[in-house]
Chain A
């Protein structure tokens, strides 16, 4: 079993008497990429801030590499690299000065480490210029370099692809994937680009109103799907589903809906036909993670 890098257990956070996070638990293993999804105001950012030590949980524990972020802050944080809500660096300094300064804050970061991180994000050419002259995309790259100089075990990225062009996003995706696969870094990415998460992440956690609504592997999420059929005999079709496949379906607007494992769909369809049911239309309700996300977080009412 892979080593657990990040563990959240029943984390609560109350800000000004309002409970923003209502008991969140999840974990990330070495080399795993977890996508953190949720509508605006769901508590994504608050959770990420607690993981990187910018704010303290009201209740619950957060461990990074088995070091508690509250009790053993320095040890835990030495394993964490992050970009929280945009790569905010010192505009009045050069990219190189920024990195040198931040590198000095960690023990044992060498010039070679800095150069390695810079090459990884492809920022060699503009490093001597002031950050104020950078485009947002370049700032994102520098932000990532900053998060990597001290060889973290956990990378926490909040909306990391904001401001990157399509080529940049693609490149960024490859960097993240290779960091996870080759160096075994655990990555936590929050994003509102669900297609991004679908392409980049192994696991996904969908949160709303401070609660994790769905937490599973992306492949499981997409293979377990709600399907609807248009048939000429709804009652009979439901019976077949129940008796043969042990699946409970329901009738919605003259159609049958049921949640099944996608791999069983051909089998079910064949069974319908064999039993004399005329099948006119079959479709899966959620084609993408985005549909699933919208369905799960449906009726999100931010202001409560």
Chain B
């Protein structure tokens, strides 16, 4: 690798580190993971208490009556008139899935560090994690304009594309660290809280819904740790995409506050748009609508027909490549007038 580029990436990483942003992100992560783990533990114990009154079974199979109870709850919702027709589809699939768990003796309920890590990523991937990523990427270029340091950066014997590339690579490194940190913190914190690791528990994935019916023929049984790797890889991919788009915005607006504001508005606004997804299919090409990749793995997730793991991955990839192209074109051509 190019020696200068390597040093530039080093510079950029140390710039971000000396801004102490990683401490901020770690702090937010720890607080949220602790609260979330506590909440989950609390919820599990509550439901255990609730259901244990109606059943005499106990021991290692204590989860089974709960799942059965949940199936009957879901069936009630299915027959309710207030349930929308497209969510009925999802509920049917969920019921089939629970049935599959019962039949195959897979425990989906008892909290373990492995399950917790997956749930945390599933819940965080479309809003919380992107926000952390924006904290990192939002001022990458605009910060240099705000502080006017862009002048000393661009008056060196280094072509502009190399300066920008080094910033991008540094961000990719830090995104990876954030994902890794999320994984390690959520496993450690929840592991000590639940006192159960559960890495080798079986997980079933690859459910397919065909005509509103669950097709279990393609189900792949994984171990929990394999599933964690899968989900966190998707989390990494989503973070990189959101980070790349945030990077483009920070090239375009030249002001840190605006850059972060624009990205947050896009994320939150985008999740509003998701409401219209059923009636206005164009929304499915918007990147925010496609962030929830791990949900596809459960099989019971299809926001509207035509959306799949491959579809969403492709949409995100196109957005990221587009954002990179725009970033490089604008950055290498623009006049620096600060």
Contact = CB atoms under 8 A, between A and B. Distances in A.
A75 B149 CA distance: 22
Interface string A92-107: 1100010001101111
Contacts of B152: 88-89, 102, 146
Contact of A89 (B14, B149, B159): B149
Nearest to A100: B11
Nearest to A78: B157
B11 A101 contact: yes
A49 interface: yes
Contacts of A52: 155
B45 interface: no
Interface size on A, as a range, is: 20 to 34
B305 interface: no
Interface string B275-318: 00000000000000000000000000000000000000000000
Contacts of B158: 74, 77, 105
A14 B172 CA distance: 37
Contacts of B15: 90, 93, 101
Nearest to B3: A107
B147 interface: yes
Nearest to B335: A55
B149 A90 contact: yes
A103 B1 CA distance: 19
A107 B4 contact: yes
B264 to A, nearest CB: 23
A282 interface: no
B337 A55 contact: yes
Contacts of A15: 335, 337
B156 interface: yes
A84 interface: yes
Contact of B147 (A84, A91, A102): A91
A146 B14 CA distance: 18
Contact of A104 (B10, B147, B335): B10
Interface of A: 15, 49, 52-56, 73-75, 77-78, 80, 82, 84-86, 88-93, 97, 101-102, 104-107, 146, 150
10 contacts: A49-B335, A54-B337, A55-B337, A56-B335, A82-B155, A92-B18, A92-B19, A101-B11, A105-B7, A106-B157
Closest 10 CB pairs of A and B: A55-B335, A78-B157, A88-B148, A104-B7, A54-B336, A105-B156, A77-B157, A52-B155, A101-B11, A74-B157
